[in-house]
């Protein structure tokens, strides 16, 4: 055991709007330890950086290893890798302008780690890299990732490498599935995310409930002490047979399926990997529903892609960040 | 001049449902001569092969060169390059099952060419290759091609190479722009082609005209001795301000734009190249309309792709076939 622990381990953190997930990854890609905490909603980038450092330390403790000097962070927003800054991370409170997140976290780590080095990457992008190397995409040369969460993110992996285009490729959540359709949180109309993102689903549910459509969604949230309709709330409502939840999630499935089928018709990839908060939570049953709803749109219907759920689940982002 | 003519030239033929276009291409990619004839609608693969050989000879004569031993053919349907066969070319009369087109054409050429060698490729694919190497895509590392004709074909060029996926990539005509929308000639619903393909446009125009919507489309076709609403007929009706034609083509533009914007959101390519019969005929004005209709759907609206018309136009397929 002592010998094993001297092998190089990697540390990664997935920074989300609601939680910070840290993981320590062994040389073979196995998760040796992990830790999670709520994302601070007060104190701005400084407290977020401190929480990231603490989560990383907790994960190292859970893995019984010393925290490595190099820490990868997957973050929402636009990342400038060279500068170590994040911009446009709207879900993180106080993240205005270009936040020097790498430097802030490095400073937090300095007390206990010698010469810490912090590397940033896009949250969905690193999660997809992890799935491509160690997870649901490891046996697929090419696939499309659909990260079904608060929004709908994604990515395109071609011959094992993420395709970046001019830097912003992979926006499967903003593939248009209904011209002139519903308004998306991004401001455009008819995007996949307008029907499938958790934020859009919640807005829709609130509006319909206010108009008198019966639903247990908000009671379940209250019972779980949640202000938001989290993935767990949706999962529970679906299990309970809540009609409104069922209807909205069916529609989300159809939107994701149309977007994924469009991507497959365009790229003829071997697979579709579904991840993200909702995707992971709803699991294989809903991946099958997505596959079934894709079928009538597939140009080569006789040879559908393999649709599967992220293997790394909630840890995909942290593992991917560790691989940065 | 004599010296120049001893340099290697290439011969290519674009086999379409209505016409056969042949071209002789010089070492620098310039078209030295071309010829066109109607695609035989009787006599099956044998007469089509004879017409291909004649068109190739005519093009060589127009270029004042001897027909090279190697002839490339771009054909609709599924191509088996090794076997030299074409299957599923529904627009070609008598093309049932796997047609050994390469062998049939080689036999026709034998009388005048020593040891002819015929190579097949997909019609839209070779046209895109030509645009990538010599045409509208030559200055773009990555682009999406939209071949707007009887159907809507296309392709994806990444870092200068066409992306094939599992062999069937590029079906931008079957990207879904309206879930549960209009029935497409492919049998599915809501595809780009359902709103934009010439066949779909014609069916729609016939139905609306039969219901009493006024239009000059069919009068223009009759005057041009056309049974079908060709690209020329549509172009003329638009010039004449025909309201129905305007309405249907506007809708086609919006569908193509939504599909192209989805492709750009997914792949973040630098450009969109519009070709095909209608695309080429309607030209830069309509490419600009497509660009404008893409704008509200683009995830990175501040950095739109360059939308441009095929440079090689009607000859793209023949030139691409010559490069095979």
Complex-level ipTM: 0.92
Pair B217, B233: CB distance under 8 Å? yes
Which residues does residue A38 pair with via DSSP β-bridges, in sequence order?
A19
Pair (A13, A147) in one structural domain: no
Q: Does A300 touch chain B (CB under 8 A)?
A: yes
Mean pLDDT (chain B) is 95
Residue A323 belongs to some domain of the structure: no
Nearest to B166 among A164, A179, A270 (CB): A270
B319 belongs to a structural domain: no
CA distance B120 to A307: 33
Domain co-membership, B103 together with B218: no
Output the pLDDT for position B1: 44
Tell me, yes or no, whether A183 and A79 share the same domain.
Answer: no
Establish if A127 belongs to a structural domain.
no
Can you give the pLDDT at residue B2? 45
The residue-averaged pLDDT of B41-50 equals 95
Same domain membership, residue B181 and residue B67: no
- Do A159 and A275 reside in the same domain of the chain? yes
Query: CB distance B177–A174 less than 8 Å?
Result: no
What is the layout of strands, in order, in the sheet containing B306-309? B161-162, B152-158, B143-148, B271-275, B306-309
pLDDT tens string B61-89: 999 999 999 999 999 988 999 999 999 88
In a domain, A121, yes or no: no
Q: Which of A115, A148, A178 is the last residue of a domain?
A: A115
- Please give the pLDDT value at position A80: 93
B172 in contact with chain A, both atoms CB, cutoff 8 A: yes
Q: A11: domain range?
A: 4-115
Does residue B156 sit at the A interface (CB-CB below 8 Å)? yes
Query: A156 vs chain B: nearest CA distance in angstroms?
Result: 8
* Chain length of chain B: 324
A194 inside 8 A of chain B by CB:
no
Q: Do A214 and A285 fall into the same domain?
A: yes
Q: Catalogue the E-assigned strands of B175-300.
A: 271-275
Residues B106 and B75 in one domain: yes
- Using an 8 Å CB-CB cutoff, list chain B residues near A158: 158, 163
Report the side by side order of strands in the sheet with A161-162.
Answer: A161-162, A152-158, A143-148, A271-275, A306-309
Using the beta-carbon criterion (under 8 Å), do B172 and A266 form an inter-chain contact?
A: yes
Q: Same domain for B286 and B169?
A: yes
Q: What angle do CA B260, B279, B118 make, to 5 degrees?
A: 100
* Per-residue pLDDT at B17: 84
B229/B206 Cα distance (integer angstroms): 10
Q: B79 and B124 in contact (C-beta within 8 Å)? A: no
**Mean pLDDT for the stretch of residues B273-286:** 96
Helix orientation angle between A44-62 and A101-109, rounded to the nearest 10 degrees: 50
pLDDT score of B314 more than 70: yes
Residue contact B158–A156, C-beta within 8 A: no
Q: Could you say which DSSP state residue B176 is in?
A: B
- Whether B178 and A177 lie within 8 Å, measured CB to CB: yes
In B85-144, the residues whose Cβ lies within 8 Å of chain A are 142, 144
A123, part of any domain: no
Closest to B28 (Cα-Cα) out of B109, B141, B138: B138
Task: For A170, name the nearest residue in chain B, comparing CA atoms only.
Answer: B266
Which chain B residue's Cα is nearest to A267? B169
Find the CB nearest B266 among A166, A186, A266.
Answer: A266
Would an 8 Å CB–CB cutoff place A157 in contact with chain B? no
Considering only the beta carbons, identify the residue of A164, A168, A268 that sits closest to B167: A268
* Residue A68, Ramachandran bin (φ over 0: left; ψ between -120 and 50: alpha; else beta): beta
pLDDT of B222 strictly over 80: yes
- Selecting from B171, B189, B268 the residue whose C-beta is nearest the C-beta of A266 gives B171
Collapsing DSSP states into helix, strand and coil, what is residue A285? helix
A172 and A240 assigned to the same domain: yes
Shared domain check, B166 and B70? no
Nearest CA in chain A to B178: A178
Report how far apart the first and last C-alpha atoms of chain A are (Å, whole number): 26
Whether the CB of A263 is below 8 Å from some CB of chain B: the reply is yes
DSSP assignment letter at A173: G
Distance, in Å, from the CA atom of A7 to the CA atom of B92, rounded to the nearest integer, reads: 65
Cβ pair A155, A122 in contact under 8 A:
no
This prediction's pTM: 0.93
Q: Could you tell me if B242 and B119 are in contact, meaning their C-beta atoms sit under 8 angstroms apart?
A: no
**pLDDT at site A7:** 64
pLDDT in tens, chain A (324 residues): 444 445 689 999 999 988 999 999 999 999 999 999 999 999 999 999 999 999 999 999 999 999 999 999 999 988 999 999 999 888 798 999 999 999 999 999 998 899 999 999 999 999 999 999 999 999 999 999 999 998 999 999 999 999 999 999 999 999 999 999 999 999 999 999 999 999 999 999 999 999 999 999 999 999 999 999 999 999 999 999 999 999 999 999 999 999 999 999 999 999 999 999 999 999 999 999 999 999 999 999 999 999 999 999 999 999 999 999
The radius of gyration computed from the CA coordinates of chain B, to the nearest angstrom, equals 20
Nearest CA distance, B247 vs chain A (angstrom): 16
Q: What is the mean pLDDT of residues B264-293?
A: 97
Domain total in chain A: 2
Q: Which residues contact A165 (CB under 8 A, 6 or more apart)?
A: B142, B267, B268, B269
Indicate whether A272 belongs to any domain.
yes
Does the CB of A156 have a partner CB in chain B at under 8 Å?
yes
CA distance B97 to B89: 9
3-state secondary structure of A93: coil
Contacts with A190 from chain B: Cβ below 8 Å: 258, 297
- Evaluate whether A53 touches A105 at the Cβ level (below 8 Å): yes
Does B303 contact A at CB distance below 8 Å? yes
B173 vs A91, more confident? B173
Cβ neighbours of residue A82 closer than 8 Å, sequence gap 6 or more: none
**What is the distance between the alpha carbons of residues B172 and B152, in angstroms, rounded to a whole number?**
7
Both B243 and B284 in one domain: the answer is: yes
3-state SS of B65-113 is CCCCCEEEEEECCEEECCCCEEECCCCCCCCCCCECHHHHHHHHHCCCC
Pick from B115, B148, B170: which residue ends a domain? B115
In angstroms, the CA B24 to CA B318 distance is: 8
Query: A239 in helix, strand or coil?
Result: helix
In a domain, B72, yes or no: yes
CATH code, domain carrying A91 = 3.30.420.40
Residues of A in contact with B156 (CB under 8 A): 266-267
Same domain, B27 and B169: no
């Amino acid at each position: 055991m002592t010998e094993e622990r001297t092998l190089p381990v990697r540390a990664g953190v997935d920074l989300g709007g609601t939680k910070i997930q840290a993981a320590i990854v062994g040389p073979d890609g196995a998760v040796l330890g992990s830790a999670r905490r709520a994302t601070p909603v007060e104190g701005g980038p400084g407290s977020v950086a401190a929480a990231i450092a603490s989560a990383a330390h907790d994960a190292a403790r859970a893995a019984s290893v010393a925290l490595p000097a190099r820490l990868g962070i997957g973050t929402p927003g636009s990342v400038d890798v060279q500068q170590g800054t994040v911009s446009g991370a709207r879900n993180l409170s106080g993240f205005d302008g270009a936040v020097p997140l790498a430097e802030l976290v490095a400073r937090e780590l300095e007390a206990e780690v010698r010469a810490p080095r912090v590397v940033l990457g896009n949250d969905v992008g690193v999660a997809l890299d992890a799935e491509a190397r160690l997870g649901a995409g490891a046996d697929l040369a090419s696939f499309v990732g659909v990260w079904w969460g608060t929004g709908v993110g994604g990515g395109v992996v071609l011959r094992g490498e993420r395709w970046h285009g001019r830097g912003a490729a992979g926006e499967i959540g903003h593939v248009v599935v209904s011209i002139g359709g519903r308004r998306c949180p991004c401001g455009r109309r008819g995007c996949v995310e307008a029907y499938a993102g958790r934020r859009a689903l919640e807005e829709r549910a609130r509006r319909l409930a206010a108009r008198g459509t019966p639903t247990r969604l908000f009671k379940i949230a209250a019972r779980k002490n949640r202000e938001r309709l989290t993935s767990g709330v949706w999962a529970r409502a679906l299990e309970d047979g809540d009609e409104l939840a069922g209807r909205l999630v069916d529609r989300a499935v159809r939107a994701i399926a149309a977007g994924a089928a469009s991507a497959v018709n365009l790229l003829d990839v071997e697979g579709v990997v579904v991840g993200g908060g909702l995707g992971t939570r709803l699991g294989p049953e809903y991946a099958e529903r997505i596959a079934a709803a894709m079928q009538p749109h597939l140009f080569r219907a006789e040879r559908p892609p393999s649709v599967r759920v992220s293997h790394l689940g909630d840890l995909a982002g942290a593992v991917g960040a560790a691989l940065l």
